[in-house]
Amino acid sequence: MNTIRNFVQLTTNYGTAGQPNEIQFKIIASNQYQHVINLAMPDHPNSIPHEGSLVTSLGMNYVHIPVPFDAPKPKHVKDFCNILSALSTQKVFIHCIMNYRVSAFMYHYFNKVENMKTQKAMSPIFDIWELDPIWQQVMNWSASEIGL
């Protein structure tokens, strides 16, 4: 798992990362992940065009919430949190291209759905990611702005 770009095992059930390659998806499946959530845009040069069929062929469920890096919306976070809530007792691998979108969305899930304190809800990715103004704004969205 540590060969996957920016991989972080946040909890027993939640692993996050940047874009895995095809071989790494086999590793993800062998680590008993039941679901894959992809927040990357399908037209990104590093995305895998047939990722959904690859993931399902490995026995995992696949959910794609395409989030434009330069235009995330509160609805994206709301949809993500609702899906993750439904899967909360299962093992879920969540990725985008660099693990940035995912880290911001996981922060909102942990903080606003699971009621974790701010520091505990923050992924170690925030130690290496310098937020631009768009993502600073995303991080400051309230539960009511998101619709939670």
Nearest one of 28, 3, 9, 2 to 102, comparing CA atoms: 9
The parts of the chain modelled with pLDDT lower than 50 are none
Q: How far apart are CA 144 and CA 28, in angstroms?
A: 34
Alpha-carbon distance 94 to 126, whole Å? 16
The string of DSSP codes covering 36-58 is EEE-S-TTSTTS-TTHHHHHHHT
Residue 11, pLDDT score = 95
Question: What pLDDT was estimated at residue 100?
Answer: 98
In the chain the domains, ranked by start, together with CATH numbers, are 8-146 (3.90.190.10)
Return the pLDDT at 76. 98
pTM of the model: 0.96
Residues 6+ apart with CB under 8 A from 12: 91
Helix (H, G, I), strand (E, B) or coil at 86: helix
Looking at residue 73, what is its pLDDT? Answer: 98
